[in-house]
Chains A and B, each alone.
Chain A
Amino acid sequence: MVNFLKYTWLYLLVSAIVIGGGIFSIIKWGYNFSIDFTGGTNLEYQFSRLVDRANVKKVFVGSKIETMEIRQTGRVFSIRTKAISDAQETELIKKLETELKTRVTKLRSETVGPTLGKETMIKTLVASILAIVGILLYMSFAFKGFNFALAAVLAMFHDFLVVIGSYSLLSHFFGAQIDTLFVTAVLTTMSFSVHDTIVIFDKIREYHKNEGRGEIINYANRALTETMVRSLNNSMTIIFMLLALTLMGGSMIRFFVATLLIGTITGTYSSPFIATPILVFLERKVKK
């Protein structure tokens, strides 16, 4: 048996650094919100020949379309603007084609009205809170103890902070945007986090059942020792999958998969190193 819990302070320190960095980034740089939340238009055009970014910008200015961002990957341009109408877009494409002497293939265009954004946010929040309540209820029932549920949910909250914090960094350095896919990724992380924690708690529950109420810290250490290989192996397989998708998958889901990757890592980490110490702490408090 390895005394994992001896180094609880170290685990908390690592988490504090990661979360602290994330929160620093959130405060300092904030996020890029996608048009899902702010409203606006996203255009993705492919040009038949390589054109200069500045010239593209010029056409937009000439058409009196306010652009927030123009990104170029070879012949493909991703442009974000204030919400424009179809007529405006048709005219814009015509202008781009004549002024830049190129053919434009429309890969994607999205326009979202500004009212939808807020709604999406609120609905997602409500869904998450409901999901948390659901998990609390189910775990309290399955583990016959509120402490298990609380520890799992707190660890989940930890993962939530890690993911939204690191996404702010991704957002700042790589231009990732907060969109509905990101929201999906966060929710996935949260469910994975609990999934992972339950496996360890299941062990502790088993010792309780077989050997009666012993010292929780011993049970916890034993559980960690016995599940460590499984935790690592399991996360490894998911990480293989996600790594392949991040590096090679399509550009539309790249940040989504990257977020899932971060979520998986923190979800795996938090189960033994955050959830379990919290459980031990809670159980000990009850005894006193």
Chain B
Amino acid sequence: MLLISVIWIDLPENLPVRLPIGKSKIEFKINPLTIDTQIMGVTIKKEFKTRLGLDLQGGSHLVFETDSSKIKSADLTDALNSARDIIEKRVNFFGVAEPVVQTIKSANNYRIAVDLPGINNVNDAIALIGQTAQLTFNEEGTAEAKIATQTPVFLRLTKETGLTGRDIKKATVQFDSQTGKPEVGLSFTAEGAKLFGEITKRNIGKPVGIFIDGMPISTPTVQQAILDGNAVITGTFSVDDAKKLAIAINSGALPLPIKLIEQRNIGPTLGQTEIKKSVLAGLIGLTMVLVFMIAYYGQLGVIASMALIIYGLISFAIFRLIPVVLTLSGIAGFILSIGMAVDSNILIFERIKEEMRKGKDFDIAIRLGFGRAIDAIKDANITTLIVAFILFNPLNWEFLPQFGMVRGFALTLAIGVATSLFTGVVITRRLIKMFYKK
């Protein structure tokens, strides 16, 4: 009993210690790990950073719909996963911190959602991500070669050679030694080199086309057989274009075409003012609540206020621990849970008062009050948890909401309510006992 109570009392005392360390990590970059491991064990080996959602930090949320009509259903999952990985590779080029790329299934549609925090050149990102980048080498079909020398050269290049982006080891941006124009150099894999050698050998004096997503990029005429496994794509592109093309080829072709269907960009300034305003408003609201509680319940109100502050610190620590990405709706969920935490305290105090009115001793009144209140608190909070659970959709069922806002809200609400079950009851009780024993 004594041991348990020591642990109970320890926890709230240790938490505030841990948090300033967590905070100071951001400001002064002091490593908090040594102290953390002493307190809570190895599991705390995490960075205690508050992660802000796109709406607060600024950034872009993109949703692409995939066109799976050309893919066998058995291969679909693989195709989607590799598409996701490829997009991730492409996104990394933009130097975005912590991009989130995930696949979403909805009815018969498969989507890929891309979150790019703090990005400015969204249009570039969209263009690069959306590119299928299916690289193919075509030669003249036998039929076309005979008929038309009049038709543009790329229309005659209809026969696929079997050489594709998969046979390419690496694509790099380089510059033409004579004109200084940017071009993309390709080096083939061993197999690709062999194939390319054969293609060039049989097409000497004829054009061979390099196509991306069916669009001709360049259609050089082969001068001689190229056997060293290197090729160059020339064309009229800028350095940037060449760079993007190289990235697209390097990251591999998307196994299925995608189309942008949703896009949300939030400038960083908007998020900052929103945070500032909401935090200020939240603090004022909180102060009013504390003043009200103290004014109405006196000593008990002071205790409740302390419990509430501890509650806030614990919840915040949990947000960092998981970590929860804080969005506007997430903050709203947290605020609601604060309201419910206060409610737990009010319920308990009203019960204690009730018992005292019946002429019971203060000690007994506290014990009875807590016991009575706990039923209502438990039931009320469990129903809230049920709702939060369904909204959060933890199993990612496709018939339930999968959008970020609702889930962010549900998650902070659930954490908040679960924490308040703990602080509202256990900590308030400890605090009352501590203060009234003296």
Contact = CB atoms under 8 A, between A and B. Distances in A.
B383 A198 contact: yes
Interface in A31-51: 44, 46
Contacts of A112: 261-264
Interface of A is mostly: helix
A145 interface: no
Interface of B is mostly: helix
A109 interface: yes
Given A181-B329, A199-B347, A130 B375 contact: no
Interface residues of A, number: 75
Contacts of B328: 181, 250, 252-253, 256
Interface centre among B63, B336, B399 (most CB of A within 10 A): B336
Interface in A84-120: 86-87, 90, 105-113, 115-116, 119-120
A134 B386 contact: yes
Contact of B402 (A123, A131, A203, A245): A123
B340 A253 contact: no
A56 B2 CA distance: 72
A184 B282 contact: no
Contacts, number: 224
Interface centre among A111, A196, A233, A260 (most CB of B within 10 A): A233
A187 B391 contact: yes
Interface stretch (B145-153, B223-231, B268-276, B313-321): B268-276
B434 to A, nearest CB: 24
Given A131-B387, A242-B285, A120 B342 contact: no
Contact of B270 (A107, A135, A190, A226): A107
A142 B399 CA distance: 28
Given A127-B393, A183-B406, A249-B278, A105 B388 contact: no
Contacts of A251: 274
A237 B379 contact: no
A205 B378 CA distance: 14
A252 B284 CA distance: 19
A241 B285 contact: yes
Nearest to B348: A230
A120 B401 contact: yes
A249 B386 contact: no
B355 to A, nearest CB: 12
Contacts of A87: 123
Interface stretch (B25-33, B165-173, B192-200, B288-296): B288-296
Interface in B337-359: 338-340, 342-343, 346-347, 350, 354
Interface string B228-241: 00000000000000
B335 interface: yes
Given A113-B261, A241-B289, A198 B380 contact: yes
12 contacts: A86-B123, A106-B265, A131-B390, A187-B391, A188-B409, A191-B387, A237-B292, A238-B342, A242-B335, A244-B288, A249-B277, A249-B278
Given A138-B382, A181-B405, A190-B387, 4 more contacts: A188-B333, A199-B380, A230-B347, A233-B296
